[in-house]
Amino acid sequence: MPKNYDVIIIGGGAAGLMAASVCAKRGKETLLLEANKNLGKKILISGGGRCNFTNLFASNDNFLCQNPHFFKSALKRYSPYEFLDLVESYGIEYVEKAAGQLFCKTSAREIVNMLESECKKYNAEIILNCSAQRISKDGETFSVTTATDTYESKNLILATGGLPIAQIGGNDFGLKIAKEFGLSITSVEPALVPYKLSESLLKKTSLLSGVALPVRIFNDKISFNEDLLFTHKGLSGPAILQISLYWNAGESVSIDFLPSIEIDNLMSYRRSHPKRSIDTFLKNNLPKKFVEYWCKRESLSLTDNLADYSNESLTKIITDLKSFTVTPPGTEGYRKAEVMRGGVSTDELSSKTLESKKVQGLYFIGEVVDVTGQLGGFNFQWAWASAHAAGLSIT
Ligand SMILES: Cc1cc2nc3c(=O)[nH]c(=O)nc-3n(C[C@H](O)[C@H](O)[C@H](O)COP(=O)(O)OP(=O)(O)OC[C@H]3O[C@@H](n4cnc5c(N)ncnc54)[C@H](O)[C@@H]3O)c2cc1C
């Protein structure tokens, strides 16, 4: 007879490790199964290897979900400061990069080690290289079948993440299991992901590859002031990743390349420098390569004095730079996405515990759920908070 655990957690990523430690700490017989040979592979590559592990200013506006109230309860009950207390208790040094975004000072490895230590301290059993293949429920008992064994439990937590980055374990296992148990799924898309550009636009912008500049990026849903990066495939950088969360195929996005400049700035520059050309003004405010591209694109004269331009033509130059619109033909997909938008429908889950309303003892946490955070440490905060909520409710 296989041992009957209080809880089996599938997935040893951010949410799974946190859930295992919470359950084990509460004295529950806990088993964590991870398909990879190491724990927390996504944590290790996150934040450029330094893991932006939370955001002190996390608020409801930083999360996207079909039910905009669903995530509030779990996030409220496990704040960024609670995770920070844990980080500090392990003596892990961290830095605040942008407002509220906390990164490890040395390495994301410290976060994985900390979570693993918490699991071991409270005797959670961990099996690596162990991919759950099938799940069934008979009466009150879940059976998890792997290539070699079957494990049983009273409760089952799916913390299998989403589709991004298949080479380190991204897959649709959690979505498939949800469907098998009759739970609905919202449509899923790669998000926090770079855009591709059309071949013709790419040809023109190829010289800009590697150029980064601060922009305001916006559509009819939201706007962000962040950096944009031109790449050899298209557009990336925090501005693009952020807006991609609020973008659907076929939609356009607008970019203000001069977020801190208005027409008045150019007019007063003309008054004090009437003999300078437009590209001198632009080069004071934008990267040189970008100005060269833009002046060529707009056929702007580099020799005319600013004094020779009409007010209307100067206004048009600024307006065009402040409202460039592009319709990306697509994104770089799950290979480059930081997260999956969408997932197990929150209609199916208790917002307090993340337990399925239909199947007693079945929980979904972390990225597999239809709750997605913006760039900036919010996705890990959701992983920790949803895991904490589920972990506390395991009986
Ligand atoms: C490049 C990159 C950088 C990122 N940087 C940040 C950042 O700095 N800050 C931030 O907040 N977010 C960041 N994210 C997003 C963040 O990593 C995810 O939101 C988070 O890891 C989700 O946690 P999770 O536990 O739900 O899923 P994951 O961390 O993906 O863990 C799921 C685990 O389940 C395992 N698994 C899947 N199927 C099975 C199975 N059948 N059997 C056993 N195990 C299985 C997988 O191998 C994996 O280890 C980044 C993502 C990427 C790709």
C-alpha span between 320 and 312 (Å, rounded): 12
Ligand 1 pocket member 92 (CB < 6 A): no
- Stretch 256-268: mean pLDDT, rounded? 95
Kindly give the interhelix angle for 378-393 and 80-89, rounded to the nearest 10 degrees.
90
Q: DSSP state, 356?
A: B
Q: Does residue 79 share a domain with residue 9? A: yes
Pocket test for ligand 1, best of 18, 42, 51 (most atoms within 8 A of CB): 42
Domain residue limits at 236 = 194-331
| pLDDT, position 153 | 98
Q: 84: helix, coil or strand? A: helix
C-alpha span between 285 and 100 (Å, rounded): 27
Assign residue 369 the CATH number of its domain: 3.50.50.60
In this model, does residue 174 exceed pLDDT 90? yes
Ligand 1 pocket member 100 (CB < 6 A): no
Select from 283, 299, 331 the last residue of a domain.
331
pLDDT band at 304 (very low <50, low <70, confident <90, very high): confident
Q: Does residue 280 share a domain with residue 181? A: no
Residue 101 located in a structural domain? yes
Residue 39 located in a structural domain? yes
Task: Compute, in angstroms, the gap from residue 58 CA to the centroid of ligand 1.
Answer: 19
Residue 354 located in a structural domain? yes
- Confirm if 129 and 36 have CB atoms less than 8 A apart: yes
Task: Compute, in angstroms, the gap from residue 267 CA to the centroid of ligand 1.
Answer: 50
Q: pLDDT by residue (tens digit) across 98-136?
A: 889 999 999 999 999 999 999 999 999 999 999 999 999
- Stretch 271-292: mean pLDDT, rounded? 94
Pocket test for ligand 1, best of 379, 381, 386, 388 (most atoms within 8 A of CB): 379
Residue 73 located in a structural domain? yes
Task: Compute, in angstroms, the gap from residue 199 CA to the centroid of ligand 1.
Answer: 32
Ligand 1 pocket member 12 (CB < 6 A): yes
In this model, does residue 262 exceed pLDDT 90? yes
Task: Compute, in angstroms, the gap from residue 164 CA to the centroid of ligand 1.
Answer: 8
CA dihedral for 355, 357, 358, 360, sign (positive or negative): positive
Task: Compute, in angstroms, the gap from residue 46 CA to the centroid of ligand 1.
Answer: 9
In this model, does residue 275 exceed pLDDT 80? yes
Give per-residue burial for 123-155: e unless 16+ CB within 10 Å, then b: ebbbeeebebeebeeeeeebbbebeeeebbbbb
Q: Does residue 310 share a domain with residue 183? A: no
Residue 46 located in a structural domain? yes
Q: pLDDT by residue (tens digit) across 57-106?
A: 999 999 999 999 999 999 999 999 999 999 999 999 999 998 899 999 99
pLDDT band at 2 (very low <50, low <70, confident <90, very high): confident
Task: Compute, in angstroms, the gap from residue 363 CA to the centroid of ligand 1.
Answer: 17
| Residue among 20, 45, 38 at smallest CA distance from 104 | 45
In single-letter form, the type of residue at position 60 comes to: N
| Residue among 360, 326, 364, 328 at smallest CA distance from 345 | 364
Radius of gyration of the chain (CA): 25
C-alpha span between 376 and 191 (Å, rounded): 14
Residue 326: CB atoms within 10 A of its CB come to 16
Task: Compute, in angstroms, the gap from residue 170 CA to the centroid of ligand 1.
Answer: 7
In this model, does residue 26 exceed pLDDT 90? yes
Residue 173 located in a structural domain? yes
| Residue among 160, 71, 59 at smallest CA distance from 386 | 71
Q: Does residue 375 share a domain with residue 300? A: no
Q: pLDDT by residue (tens digit) across 221-237?
A: 999 999 999 999 999 99
Q: DSSP state, 301?
A: -
| pLDDT, position 66 | 97
Select from 331, 360, 380 the last residue of a domain.
331
Task: Compute, in angstroms, the gap from residue 377 CA to the centroid of ligand 1.
Answer: 13
Q: pLDDT by residue (tens digit) across 339-369?
A: 999 999 999 999 999 999 999 999 999 999 9
In this model, does residue 1 exceed pLDDT 90? no
Q: 94: helix, coil or strand? A: strand
Q: How far is CA 6 from CA 354, 358, 395, in A?
A: 17, 19, 7
Q: Does residue 147 share a domain with residue 27? A: yes
- Stretch 281-292: mean pLDDT, rounded? 96
Q: How many structural domains does the chain have?
A: 2
- Stretch 147-162: mean pLDDT, rounded? 97
pLDDT band at 3 (very low <50, low <70, confident <90, very high): confident
Ligand 1 pocket member 52 (CB < 6 A): yes
Ligand 1 pocket member 160 (CB < 6 A): yes
| pLDDT, position 302 | 79
C-alpha span between 24 and 30 (Å, rounded): 6
- Stretch 155-160: mean pLDDT, rounded? 98
Q: Does residue 136 share a domain with residue 215? A: no
- Of all protein residues, the one whose alpha carbon is nearest to atom 35 of ligand 1 is 11
Which residues lie closer than 8 Å to 84 by C-beta, 6 or more apart? 54, 56, 94, 102
Q: Does residue 227 share a domain with residue 180? A: no
Ligand 1 pocket member 341 (CB < 6 A): no
Select from 331, 356, 379 the last residue of a domain.
331
| pLDDT, position 300 | 87
pLDDT band at 258 (very low <50, low <70, confident <90, very high): very high
- Confirm if 257 and 237 have CB atoms less than 8 A apart: no
In this model, does residue 299 exceed pLDDT 80? yes
pLDDT band at 303 (very low <50, low <70, confident <90, very high): confident
Residue 315 located in a structural domain? yes
Ligand 1 pocket member 364 (CB < 6 A): no
Instruction: Specify the ligand 1 atom closest to the Cα of 33.
Output: 43
- Of all protein residues, the one whose alpha carbon is nearest to atom 52 of ligand 1 is 338
Q: DSSP state, 311?
A: H
Task: Compute, in angstroms, the gap from residue 68 CA to the centroid of ligand 1.
Answer: 22
Ligand 1 pocket member 306 (CB < 6 A): no
Q: Does residue 26 share a domain with residue 172? A: yes
Residue 336 located in a structural domain? no
Q: Does residue 357 share a domain with residue 287? A: no
Query: How many residues in the chain?
Result: 395
Ligand 1 pocket member 377 (CB < 6 A): yes
pLDDT band at 164 (very low <50, low <70, confident <90, very high): very high
Q: How does the average pLDDT of the chain come out, rounded? A: 96
DSSP code string of 180-216: HTT--B---EEES-PEE--HHHHHHHGGGTT-EEEEE
C-alpha span between 243 and 237 (Å, rounded): 10
Q: Does residue 380 share a domain with residue 309? A: no
Q: Does residue 265 share a domain with residue 172? A: no
- Confirm if 105 and 87 have CB atoms less than 8 A apart: no
C-alpha span between 319 and 153 (Å, rounded): 62
Is this structure's pTM higher than 0.95?
A: yes
Assign residue 273 the CATH number of its domain: 2.40.30.10
C-alpha span between 92 and 114 (Å, rounded): 9
Kindly give the interhelix angle for 14-25 and 378-393, rounded to the nearest 10 degrees.
30
Q: Does residue 147 share a domain with residue 11? A: yes
Task: Compute, in angstroms, the gap from residue 322 CA to the centroid of ligand 1.
Answer: 36
